[in-house]
Amino acid sequence: MDDCIFCKITSGQQSADVIDEDEKIMVFKDIKPSAPVHLLIVPKKHIASVIETKDEDEELLGGMILKAKDVADSQGLKGYKLVFNVGREGGQLVDHLHLHLLGGWTDK
């Protein structure tokens, strides 16, 4: 997807503050954080939203949650929120699947 900002970030065409990366998933800081720690867990495969996911994406979706857990642990977070905004009515502004990891409100 040539005009997709998250495709540009995951392919290295656009910079981001990358926290973690593997073959399928990249984690980077949200440019406009809504919490002291606000990370985005983003698959490298372009899928527009949860609405567009298929049975074949089951492993990827599970992998996103497991990645969020591992990154939260490495950031020292003992509790956090994981949020998918789905569609415009659900507050989704970037049409590339992503999971918000929000935390860091309390002392560790």
Q: Which of 37, 64, 71, 96 binds Zn ion (CB under 5 A)?
A: 96
Residue 39: strand, helix, or coil: strand
Neighbours of 14 (CB within 10 A): 11
Is the distance from CB of 79 to CB of 73 less than 8 angstroms? no
Q: Which of 30, 35, 48, 50 binds ligand 5GP (CB under 6 A)?
A: 30
**Active-site hit among 38, 46, 96, 98:** 98
Is the distance from CB of 94 to CB of 86 less than 8 angstroms? no
Question: Interacting stretch for ligand 5GP, rule CB under 6 A, among 22-30, 53-61, 65-73, 74-82?
Answer: 22-30
Neighbours of 55 (CB within 10 A): 5
> Is 38 among the residues known to form the active site?
no
Neighbours of 6 (CB within 10 A): 22
Q: Please tell me whether residue 1 binds Zn ion under the rule CB under 5 A.
A: yes
Q: Rounded distance, CA 62 to CA 5, Å? A: 23
Q: Please tell me whether residue 51 binds Zn ion under the rule CB under 5 A.
A: no
Q: Which of 2, 93, 106, 107 binds ligand 5GP (CB under 6 A)?
A: 93
Q: Which residues bind ligand 5GP (CB under 6 A)?
A: 5, 16, 28-32, 40, 85, 91-94
Q: Active-site residues: which are they?
A: 98
